[in-house]
Amino acid sequence: MNVRVIARLDIKGPNLVKGIHLEGLRVLGKPERFARHYYEQGADELVYMDAVASLYQRNSLLDIVTRTSREIFIPLTVGGGIRSLDDINQVLRAGADKVSLNTAAIQNPEFIKEAARRFGSSTIVISIEAIRQPDGRYQAYTNNGRESTGFDAVEWAMRVAESGAGEILLTSVDREGTGKGFDLELTSAIAGAVPIPVIAAGGAGKLSHVAEVVQQGRADAVCLASMLHYNLLRSLSSKDDFSGEGNVEYLKNQRGFSKVEDSALPEIKTYLIKSGIPCRAETLDTSRA
């Protein structure tokens, strides 16, 4: 099977942001612009995560989803703060293809079944935010890794698969934004335990990390953020208007993030193929799209 390389965009208000350990957000730019670029560069899918997930900002997110889905014709998953069947419906109506759920599923695991029955399994992605415990086991968290649930991450993964989830977006909160590499042990424990695809997220800092998480971590897809964003930022002379949210100073200084060796999608795909990992390596001719 061709491994998918998925670009993840964390969104706060109108802006793309990036954090470390899912906290300490930095403003990077307008999400639509990044999304368009990744689409043209051959991203296999896009994930939009509402970093704040508060309801009063939801309209702004829905607008971004609609604008994106009108010009980007690859699957778009939207997550963050989705709590009810109505929420899912709203996000799908705005133009998302799949939704990612975490808190709502943990609070009421039956919700996964209801959502899968109503919208189809393949529409329901369960996001698992895992943190390694002192005893070496992994626990599932909510709220960007801030709240403990008491659920063992591997057991929870098996349960969501049984409940009808279409795939699992697995984030290592420990590694998120650090550039130290994916948590291979975590990824392989979960990918080996469930029959559904597992998307590995959190920690990619160089090309070899991406190949490792597929080969050793048995990931079916990889989700990248910093690696791609910093690469694009370097190539942009930013004329974006930033609406005063988050830490814009960082962007003005145009500083890269030293622990991440940034990379563009075509380069990543070429590397994967050279490593013997099949994937779709093509940039799109979007001139007619």
Residue closer to other proteins by CB (options 118, 146) is 118
Among 50, 129, 212, 261, the one annotated catalytic: 129
Q: Residues 178-207: x/- map of binding to other proteins (CB under 8 A)?
A: -----------------xxx----------
286 near other proteins, rule: CB under 8 A = yes
Least gap, CB of 276 to other proteins (angstroms) = 13
120 near other proteins, rule: CB under 8 A = yes
Using left for φ > 0, alpha for ψ between -120 and 50, and beta otherwise, residue 173 falls in alpha
Note every long-range contact of 272-281, with CB atoms under 8 Å and residues 24 or more positions apart, other chains counting: 272/3, 272/5, 272/210, 272/211, 272/214, 275/211, 275/215, 277/3, 277/211, 277/214, 277/215, 278/1, 278/2, 278/3, 279/2, 279/3, 279/4, 279/5, 279/44, 280/2, 280/42, 280/44, 281/42
| Of the residues 167, 176, 183, 212, which one makes contact with other proteins according to CB under 8 A | 167
Q: Which stretch binds other proteins (CB under 8 A): 73-81, 223-231, 236-244, 258-266?
A: 73-81
Residue closer to other proteins by CB (options 114, 240) is 114
Q: Which stretch binds other proteins (CB under 8 A): 10-18, 28-36, 115-123, 179-187?
A: 115-123
Is 241 in the active site? no
The string of DSSP letters for 78-90 reads EESS--SHHHHHH
Is 176 in the active site? no
